[in-house]
Amino acid sequence: MKRYTLQLSYNGKHYFGWQRQPREISVQEIIETALTKLNHTHPVGVVGCGRTDTGVHAADYILHFDFTEIDNLEQFVQRLNRMLPRDIVIFETKEVAADFHARFDAKSRTYRYFIQTTKDCFNYEQRHYVHVPLDVAKMNEGAKLFIGKQDFTSFSKLHTDVKTNMCDVTSAKWVQTSEHELYFEITADRFLRNMVRAIVGTLLEVGIGKIQVADIATILEQKDRGKASSSAPGHALFLWEVKY
Amino acid sequence: MKRYTLQLSYNGKHYFGWQRQPREISVQEIIETALTKLNHTHPVGVVGCGRTDTGVHAADYILHFDFTEIDNLEQFVQRLNRMLPRDIVIFETKEVAADFHARFDAKSRTYRYFIQTTKDCFNYEQRHYVHVPLDVAKMNEGAKLFIGKQDFTSFSKLHTDVKTNMCDVTSAKWVQTSEHELYFEITADRFLRNMVRAIVGTLLEVGIGKIQVADIATILEQKDRGKASSSAPGHALFLWEVKY
C-alpha cells in the first residue's frame, strides 16, 4: 500500500457537506465509492483536509488515501473524473510520504465568501445577494478585529466537540471586485464549525449599520456561543486554499 | 395608455422558453403576471423581441407593453424586481413611441454559445462540456460559411410555421477566452427555431473531425430539415444582444 493525495474541487449544492453521514449524501461518500470501485470493490477510505457544511463549496480541497501502487497517475485521475458526477472534479493525484496527513499536516486554510449587491440571474447559486448598501470600509475595520490568536467561542456552533476554541487568524479582509461584487477572505490555522459564516453575518450587520465595529470586540470577549449575528447562508462560501 | 419597453435578463433553466404556453411555465407568463399585479389586476400582455427555447438564457432581452402612465420609472423597476423570482432581472424601463414593436423593429440579434473543454464543477449549468480536443481554427473556417443571406432550412426545426427560411447572418465566429473556454457568437437579422444550436452542433462535429468544413456548404445547399448534425444542448446558449 502507498499513500496518495487527491487535489479536487466540488460544488456543495447537492451535498450535506464533506463528511460521510449515515442518512445523507456527502462528498466523502461519493469519492470513497468511486475509489472503492477502482480498487476492485475493496473498501477505500479517505481523510480530508477539513469538514465543510451543507451546501458549502471547495475550490481547492486536499485528501489522502491508501491504495495499491498506481501505475499511471494521470490515467487514474481521468478514470476517477469519468466516474464522479459533474459537481466533483479531480485535478491531480500524487504519491506522498506514508505518514502524510491531509488534516493534521495542513498549516492554514483560506475561505472566501462572495456577495452581490445587485440582483443577478446567472450567479445567484454561488453568491449571497444583499439588497441594501454596504459600508465596506467599516466592514474592513471590523475584519481586522478578527486577526490574531483568539478564542472564537462566540463564533462557533453549539455542541461542537473540540477541545479548544482558539484559532490563529492571520488574514481577514473584504475585496471589492466590481461595483456590485465583493468577497470576504479569511485565513487561519483552523476554523470552528460555522465560524466563517458567523463572522460574515456579523460583518454584514456592521456594513448595514445594525451594529458598530466596536461591538465585535465585545462579542469576541463574551466567549458566548450564539452572541454573534445570524450566520450568512452557506451557498456563497468556498474553501479556497489549503497550505501544507 | 403609453407604450414602454423593459430591458431584462433571465436564466432559462427553470422555464420552458420565453413564450407563454398553456401547460408549462414560461418567462413571458411570469412577467405578465407581475405586470398585471402592478396594474391592479387588469391583464397586461407583453411582446418580446423573440422566442427562446426551453432552458435557453437571455443576457439582454427587450419587450414592450402598454400601461397607464408610470410616474417613477426607477421605482417601477424596483417594484418589479422584488416581485419577480431571482432568475429574472429587470434593468430598465423606458417610454417609447406608441408604434414601437419589440419584435418587428429589432434589426439584429446576437447569440453566444459557451463551451468548456475541461470538467468544471461550478459553471456546468451554463456551459457545454466537450471532453475531446477541438480544432478551433477549422471551426472558425466552418463558421464563415454561415455568413451571408442564405436559406437555413437545413438548420431549422421541423414544423416551423414561418414563411421563409432566409436569414442574413452578418457575423459568426469562435472566440477562445482561456485555455479551456470558448464561445461561438453569431449575429443575424432573424433566427429560425433551433438554428443556433444546430449550427453549433455541426461546427462541433467539424471541430472533432467527424465531418469536414466543406460538408457545411453541402448541408446548406440541401435545404433539407434534419440534415445538420444534432443540436448542441440549450443550457449553454444565451441571447446576448438585440439591436434596434
Closest to B203 in 3D by CA, of B128, B146, B154: B146
* Full-model pTM: 0.92
Q: Do B124 and A86 touch (CB under 8 A)?
A: yes
DSSP B159: T
**Which residues on adjacent β-strands are paired with residue A48?**
A63
Asked if residue B94 lies in contact with residue B77, where contact means CB atoms within 8 angstroms, the answer is: no
Closest to B46 in 3D by CA, of B109, B100, B110, B86: B100
Residues of A in contact with B74 (CB under 8 A): none
Chain A interface test: which of B14, B117, B119, B179 (most A C-beta within 10 Å): B119
Q: Which amino acid is at A102?
A: A
Q: A196 to each of A53, A174, A209, B166, how far by Cα in Å?
A: 11, 13, 20, 57
- Alpha-carbon Rg for chain A, nearest whole angstrom, is 19
CA distance A48 to A142: 31
Neighbours of B66 (CB within 10 A): 14
Count CA atoms closer than 13 A to A65's CA, side-chain side: 23
Closest chain B residue by Cα to residue A10 = B121
ipTM of model: 0.89
| Mean pLDDT of the B43-57 span | 96
> Per CB distance under 8 Å, which residues of B are interface residues toward A?
9-11, 57, 59, 81, 86-89, 119-122, 124-126, 129
- Written as nine digits, the cell of B109 is 440579434
Is residue A17 left, alpha or beta, with left meaning phi > 0 and alpha meaning psi from -120 to 50? left
Confidence of residue B41 (pLDDT cuts 50, 70, 90): confident
CA distance B76 to B91: 11
Average pLDDT of chain B, as a whole number: 95
pLDDT digits 0-9 by tens, A20-48: 999 999 999 999 999 999 999 899 999 99
Give the pLDDT score at A11. Answer: 98
Q: Do B119 and A57 touch (CB under 8 A)?
A: no
Q: Where are the alpha helices (DSSP H) in B39-111?
A: 73-83
Distance from CA of A240 to the nearest CA of B (A): 13
Chain A interface test: which of B122, B125, B179 (most A C-beta within 10 Å): B122
Closest to A162 in 3D by CA, of A199, A201, A196, A190: A190
Neighbours of A72 (CB within 10 A): 9
Distance from CA of B134 to the nearest CA of A (A): 18
Chain A interface test: which of B121, B130, B237 (most A C-beta within 10 Å): B121
Residue B161 has pLDDT above 70, yes or no: no
pLDDT digits 0-9 by tens, A191-241: 999 999 999 999 999 999 999 999 999 999 999 877 788 899 999 999 999
> Per CB distance under 8 Å, which residues of A are interface residues toward B?
9-11, 57, 59, 81, 86-89, 119-122, 124-126, 129
Give the pLDDT score at B160. Answer: 58
| Mean pLDDT of the A47-53 span | 95
Distance from CA of A232 to the nearest CA of B (A): 18
Average pLDDT of chain A, as a whole number: 95
| Mean pLDDT of the B199-218 span | 96
Q: Do B86 and A129 touch (CB under 8 A)?
A: yes
Give the pLDDT score at B4. Answer: 98
Give the pLDDT score at A160. Answer: 58
pLDDT digits 0-9 by tens, A93-146: 999 999 999 999 999 999 999 999 999 999 999 999 999 999 999 999 999 999
pLDDT digits 0-9 by tens, B210-232: 999 999 999 999 998 777 888 99
Give the pLDDT score at A41. Answer: 87
∠ CA(A182), CA(A183), CA(A186), 5° rounding?
155
Burial degree of A86 (CB within 10 A; 0-12, 13-18, 19+): middle
Across the interface, of A87, A120, A121, the residue whose CB is closest to B121 is A87
CA distance A72 to A69: 9
**Which residues on adjacent β-strands are paired with residue A37?**
none
What are the two backbone dihedrals, phi and then psi, of residue A145, each rounded to the nearest 5 degrees? -65, -15
Q: Do B81 and A119 touch (CB under 8 A)?
A: yes
Give the pLDDT score at A158. Answer: 66
Asked if residue B139 lies in contact with residue B215, where contact means CB atoms within 8 angstroms, the answer is: no
Closest to A35 in 3D by CA, of A83, A71, A2, A69: A83
pLDDT digits 0-9 by tens, A136-181: 999 999 999 999 999 999 998 766 567 889 999 999 999 999 999 9
Residues of B in contact with A81 (CB under 8 A): 119
